[in-house]
Structures are given as C-alpha cells and as structure tokens.
Structure 1
Amino acid sequence: MLLEICANSFQSAKNAQEAGAHRIELCQELSVGGLTPSYGLLKLVKEKLNILTHVLIRPRSGDFVYSKDEFELMQKDITLCKELNFDGIVSGILKADNTLDIARTKVLIELARPLSFTFHRGFDEVKKPEVALQQLIDLGVERVLTSGQKPKAVDCIALLRQLNTLANGQIIIMPGSGINADNVGVFRESGFTEIHASASREISQSETLFSALQTVSDLDKIKAILHAI
C-alpha cells in the first residue's frame, strides 16, 4: 500500500521524505482544506527534496466552482508545475449544482499531461458519486482522493469499498481524511492500494494578534502509519 502525505509546508514535506513516505501532496493552508502552494515553496521542495510530489491546484478556499479568472489562474499554476518538473497535479472543478464540470476539468487534465492527475476532495461534494466516478474514468483521471463523503474516511468505508469495486482497476480510489496508524488496517484489508494522510500535530507558537492553529506532518506519526501498513 502506498502512503501519500498531505504536506502543508516545507517542514512537512521534509518530514514525509525522512520518514519514508512514498509521495506527498504539496499544498498550503490545510486548515481550509488546502490551497495551491506558493512559488517559493514549490521551488524549495524541488531544489532540496526528491520525494515524489503531486501539487494541489486550488486557488481559494470554499466551494469548487470557479470563475473565468480563477480557471485561468489554475491553468497558469499547472503550467508552472510542469515547468518545474513535478510528478502530478491534484485538482478539479464542479458546477454550481455540484455535478462534475466535465469540460473545464478536461482542460486541466489535458494541460497537465504527461503528469499524473488526481481529482481532489471536491469529489466528496458531488450528489451522485457513482456517476461522477465513471465520468472521471472516461476523462482518463488516474485517481480520486475521497473520504467517502463523510468527514472521516473510516466512517464511510462501505461507500469507499463500493467505489473501489466500481473502479475495477480503471482508476485508483485513494481514501483520505482521518487515516492514522490505528485505523489504516481497515483500508489495507479492504483492498485499497493507496491512502492519503496528513499525520499532523499542532505546533506550539507564541501568542500574537494574528495567532492561528499551525500544524506539521509528524515524523513519528508517518513512521507509525508505514509500520501499520
């Protein structure tokens, strides 16, 4: 089973590599579900690390319905990631009715090639996941990151198993959200080949006017998940 770590900073990415994780999803602002990482973070990871890296392309927090300008920004960010020789893109677009925006998602997929393309947790907002899954298969998406439309993946293992059966090897179903060393066995025994986890801990910081919760992917937690796989 492959372990992907959701790395929200350079330190998280470095910890993932040192712990032996197989891949990272690089992002920032995990507190809002993750956003596109800065140019500086992209460059630093590429220059100093060698772990397989997929980059989240999500221009803002909130829903996954994007304006013309936001769509243009996403395309420019994908082009940048290709120029920097990253390994994959994590992205996707929905329509206002929470169905898959096939046309614009296809543009992103085609632009990203030959990089791997993962449809992100926008999938957990769609009304008919079975229909959306087949649409993503038809688009040639390599994998779907999903919690099974629940806050924690372990709470909807039945739907995840159903989706994995429907995928039938045509697309990877990668469970994510709340996966840790204590429950990863459920996913291994259910036949999933990849899982996604942040394995994070809170960082202590001084109290200031702009204080906010900060987290980092923890070396020991990552190793514990790998040991349990």
Structure 2
Amino acid sequence: MLEVCVDDAAGIDAALSGGADRLELASALALGGLTPPESLVRYATRQPIAVHLLARPRDGGFRYGAADAALVADDIRLAAEAGLAGVVIGASGEDRTLDEGLLSQWVAHARALGEARGAPLSLTLHRAFDLCPDLDAALDSAIALGFDRILTSGGAPRAPDALPVLARLHQRAGGRIILLAGSGVDPSNAEAILATGVRELHSSCSTAAAMHDDTSPEVRFGFEPAGKKRTDARKVAEMRQIISQVRYNLNHTNT
C-alpha cells in the first residue's frame, strides 16, 4: 500500500498518474502538513482513490486547547460530510504522551459521523505518536482508543533511520493495528522498510520544483518559498513498482 501525501491539485493529479493507492490530503507540507482548504477537499472527492484528510489546525506541537480541539472536530466533520475515506489526527499531553482524553472524544465523534453516513471513517494516528517517550505504550494506547493505523517514523525524524524500532513495533502490533511508515521514505529505502514487516508506506514522492530565481518578485515578496517541492509522478510510479515487486516476491515465496 502506497499512501502519497499531497497539498495541492497538481499533487493529486501526479499521485494518481503514478499509481498511488491512497492520498493523505493536507496543506503546507513544508510545515509537516496542515488541514487542507475545503476547496481542495472537494477536488479530492472527485478522484477515484481513497483520501484521508489531515486534521491539524496549526504548525508546532500537538498540545491543543479547547479552540484548536474544536477546529479538529470540525475538520473531522468536513471529511465525513465530503465523503472522504478517513482522517489523520493526533494530540499530545504535557509530557508528550498521547492525550487519550481528547483523542477518545475525536474517535467517538468520527465513529458517530461514520455511522450517520453509513460508511466508517478510517482513523490514522499521526506522528504525534513519534514524540511519545514510550512508543510501545503509545501503540497499546492507540489500539485501545480504536485507531486503525499509526503513521510513524519509529520515533526518529526519518523512518529509514529507525528500522529496528519499526520491526519491533510491527511485531508488537500483531495485526491489531496497521503501521504506516512515513518521513524520509523514497525509492532508495522503500524495500528496506518493507523488510521490517511494515506493509504500508507514506511518502511525498516529491522532487524540487522549477522555481523563480531569488531576485524574482514572487520570491522577494514572499509569495513563493525557497526549495519548494512538487509531487513527482515518476517517483510515485517507482515506489509503486517496488511495492508490487515485494508483494510478488512474498506471494511467490508463500506458494
């Protein structure tokens, strides 16, 4: 399973062209991803692919007060009413453990919305998980809360640097929850990550975009950041080929 994170219409189109299995829809991926605008959500619903909405109201950490928590709840409602397949949420306590109280409220809210529309929302716990001081305990908490999957880099900034941890978490999960490996995932390390037992990969599949030079009005006025990246359909296709080959090898070995 290849999930591609995108933050604009061009990214959606490129991910589809390259063969992505699922989209994580966001805005501002340069900040780690924020909640996408409703207009982009509407565009995504017209595509023939499962879409999970990232509900993150601001940059920074994941400790949320009442106002931010209400925004996330409204984002979950947007995803459900738009017909998206799932949402990606997370919240931290003061000590960076999971905020189980707030998360349980959001999970119940998402489940109720799914029941009302007659189709459940898939629930992914985002990388607030990676900030937890005890990942094993956090995994058990995510299962108890009712999440379907955890997006994780194994507690490191980049998933390829935490392969033993990913393997251990996969073993601990024991089929009770899906691990979705993300951050720093690309064709050069996808096979090594899959070798941990993890079967879902999350990647931007991006390359540096053609940019205006530093003297252009767009850059000088701050309308265009330096180093912006774009979803690359060729990278998506390369990732898709690696996953397909690993799936073939596993099936061939099992038969």
| Partner residue in 2 for 1:103 | 101
Confirm or deny that 1:223 pairs with 2:223: no
Residues 69-123 of structure 1 show CA distances to partners (whole Å, capped at 9, x for unaligned) of 0101111111111100000000111111101111110111121122000000111
TM superposition shift of 1:51: 1.2
CA distance in 1, matches of 2:15, 2:43: 15
TM-score (norm 1): 0.96
Matches within 5 A, 1:73-152: 73-113=71-111, 114-152=120-158
CA distance in 2, matches of 1:14, 1:181: 20
Is the Cα–Cα contact under 8 Å of residues 202 and 215 in structure 1 kept in the other structure?
yes
CA distance in 2, matches of 1:191, 1:98: 27
Is the Cα–Cα contact under 8 Å of residues 200 and 217 in structure 1 kept in the other structure?
yes
Confirm or deny that 1:164 pairs with 2:170: yes
Is the Cα–Cα contact under 8 Å of residues 55 and 88 in structure 2 kept in the other structure?
yes
Matched residue type, 1:60? R
TM-score (norm 2): 0.87
Matches within 5 A, 1:1-229: 2-47=1-46, 49-113=47-111, 114-206=120-212, 207=216, 208-209=219-220, 210=222, 211-212=224-225, 213-229=227-243
* Local SS of the residue matching 1:90: strand
Is the Cα–Cα contact under 8 Å of residues 119 and 145 in structure 1 kept in the other structure?
yes
CA RMSD of aligned residues (A): 1.0
CA distance in 2, matches of 1:134, 1:202: 38
Is the Cα–Cα contact under 8 Å of residues 17 and 233 in structure 2 kept in the other structure?
yes
TM superposition shift of 1:159: 0.6
CA distance in 2, matches of 1:16, 1:51: 10
CA distance in 2, matches of 1:17, 1:131: 36
* Structure showing greater Rg: 2
Is the Cα–Cα contact under 8 Å of residues 9 and 216 in structure 1 kept in the other structure?
no
CA distance in 2, matches of 1:203, 1:99: 37
Matched residue type, 1:63? G
* Local SS of the residue matching 1:72: helix
Which one scores higher on RCO, CA 8 angstroms, separation ≥ 6? 1
Aligned pairs, number? 227
* Local SS of the residue matching 1:93: coil
Matched residue type, 1:33? G
* Local SS of the residue matching 1:55: strand
Q: Which runs of 5+ in 1 are unaligned?
A: none
Query: What is the percent sequence identity of the aligned residues?
Result: 34
TM superposition shift of 1:35: 0.2
111-120 or 184-193: bigger deviation: 184-193
TM superposition shift of 1:214: 2.2
* Local SS of the residue matching 2:101: helix
Is the Cα–Cα contact under 8 Å of residues 4 and 23 in structure 1 kept in the other structure?
yes
CA distance in 1, matches of 2:51, 2:71: 20
Is the Cα–Cα contact under 8 Å of residues 143 and 171 in structure 1 kept in the other structure?
yes
Is the Cα–Cα contact under 8 Å of residues 78 and 112 in structure 1 kept in the other structure?
yes
